[in-house]
């Protein structure tokens, strides 16, 4: 785990892992934040530069991920520039280490409107796959930033893999679990 502050990625020096814990064990203590939104920016690192793919908000019910919506909702859209700056800087760092590929940066937006980075995932994330589908489906559209949303749902009855593949299958309607 590495804790980063503003300016840590500006000089290009390699970042070493901080020693945490010692003989008493590994403990991480985080500040308790009054969180209004859980947001993210998804990017792609490459030698020519980092490219922002999409930003959005994660929907949660009782702390559990239930979906993603893009672009950021109005009440937290003010943090998009900061998220993209943080992600672009991280992408430059990753590219400098030889990484090329997708990654995401998650953040929390407090009730006061401040963004606090929470984690990064150096891989394809839960929102980059539906985003790729949205881009493919809207590729001919003049709208370069289409709005989209994904969510979990449950069918009215369980279907096994073999049932799903049956020719002529009619699909039961999905009902949303989000409240």
Can you spell out the DSSP letters for 63-114?
Answer: TEEEEEEES--GGGGGGHHHHHHHHHHHHHHHHHTT--EEEEEEEEEETTS-
Region 17-21 average pLDDT = 58
Rounded Cα gap, residues 8 and 90, in angstroms = 10
pLDDT digits (tens, 9 = 90+) for 100-147: 999 999 999 999 999 999 999 998 887 777 777 787 888 777 777 777
What confidence tier does 52 reach under pLDDT thresholds 50, 70, 90? very high
pLDDT at 179 over 70: no
pLDDT at 81 over 80: yes
Measured in whole angstroms, the distance separating CA 45 from the mean position of its chain's CA atoms is 15
pLDDT at 148 over 80: no
pLDDT at 177 over 50: no
pLDDT for position 178 = 45
Rounded Cα gap, residues 54 and 141, in angstroms = 16
- Which residue bears the tokens 């809207």? 138
User: Mean pLDDT in the chain?
Assistant: 79
Cα torsion angle, 28, 88, 129, 60, sign: positive
| pTM confidence score | 0.65
pLDDT for position 171 = 56
pLDDT for position 132 = 77
pLDDT at 176 over 50: no
């Amino acid at each position: 785990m590495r804790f980063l502050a503003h300016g840590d990625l500006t000089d290009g020096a390699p970042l070493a892992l901080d020693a945490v814990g010692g003989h008493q064990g590994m403990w991480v203590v985080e500040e308790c934040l009054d969180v209004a939104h859980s947001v993210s920016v998804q990017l792609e690192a490459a030698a020519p530069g980092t490219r922002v793919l999409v930003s959005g908000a994660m929907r949660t019910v009782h702390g559990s991920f239930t979906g993603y919506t893009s672009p950021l909702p109005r009440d937290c859209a003010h943090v998009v520039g900061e998220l993209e700056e943080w992600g672009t800087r991280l992408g430059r760092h990753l590219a400098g280490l030889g990484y090329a590929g997708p990654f995401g940066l998650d953040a929390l937006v407090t009730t006061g409107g401040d963004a606090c980075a929470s984690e990064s995932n150096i891989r394809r994330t839960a929102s980059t796959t539906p985003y790729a589908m949205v881009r493919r489906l809207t590729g001919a559209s003049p709208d370069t930033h289409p709005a989209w949303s994904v969510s979990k749902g449950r069918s009215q009855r369980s279907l096994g893999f073999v049932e799903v593949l049956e020719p002529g299958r009619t699909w039961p309607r999905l009902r949303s679990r989000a409240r």
